[in-house]
Chain A
Amino acid sequence: DIQMTQSPSSLSASVGDRVTITCRASQGISNYLAWYQQKPGKVPKLLIYAASTLQSGVPSRFSGSGSGTDFTLTISSLQPEDVATYYCQKYNSAPCSFGQGTKLEIK
């Protein structure tokens, strides 16, 4: 099975900072990659699919890139409401595995 590895596991940044989270697949998955945001005590929310397509309603400060094995999620200007854990997920085939998550905090 394909393994998904995120880095870093946790991250602290200041409001207004540009933040980048990386996700690496153990084998190529083309662009079958989604990103989710999970705020404390809340349900996961789909942010990005097909590696770079923004889900409807998601702020434009979020963006995704990558293909094959290496992917990134970028927040162009960090806002207080972005405090959350972020997960990448591959979906080229079952099992649809997740990365271990990146916990983002405000400095």
Chain B
Amino acid sequence: EVQLVESGGGLVQPGGSLRLSCAASGFTFSSYWMSWVRQAPGKGLEWVANIKQDGSEKYYVDSVKGRFTISRDNAKNSLYLQMNSLRAEDTAVYYCARDVWGSGSYWDYWGQGTLVTVSS
């Protein structure tokens, strides 16, 4: 059974940093692109970033470029999102999701999400 379990969310002040993790199991993690997708409270879905199987390609939504970094450790079956210079508008539930295709993809499995709140 495919499982994606996020962790690392919490309350952080504006300008602060947070690192999210996603532990994957039930599939060959190193064979898939992976993504982070977020959802602000009461709002719609927004793709944040994705990463190729070997980490050699990464893509970001414009609003997080230069502030967020996606990475992975295939030996640990884990996906990460390092978030720096956080802003109030980054407040959201962050989902880890498995890409079906490549750099442009849809997602067939999602984690339960981890809430990030940016507030003073």
Contacts and interface: CB of A to CB of B under 8 A. Distances in A.
Interface of A: 1, 32, 34, 36, 38, 43-46, 49, 55, 87, 89, 91-101
A92 B37 CA distance: 17
Classify the interface of chain A: helix, strand, loop or mixed: loop
10 contacts: A43-B111, A43-B112, A49-B106, A87-B44, A96-B47, A96-B50, A97-B47, A98-B45, A99-B44, A101-B45
Interface of B: 35, 37, 44-47, 50, 59, 61-62, 95, 100-101, 103-108, 110-113
Given A95-B59, A96-B35, 16 more contacts: A1-B62, A32-B104, A34-B106, A45-B110, A46-B107, A89-B106, A93-B104, A94-B59, A94-B103, A95-B47, A95-B62, A96-B104, A96-B106, A97-B47, A98-B45, A100-B44
B45 A44 contact: yes
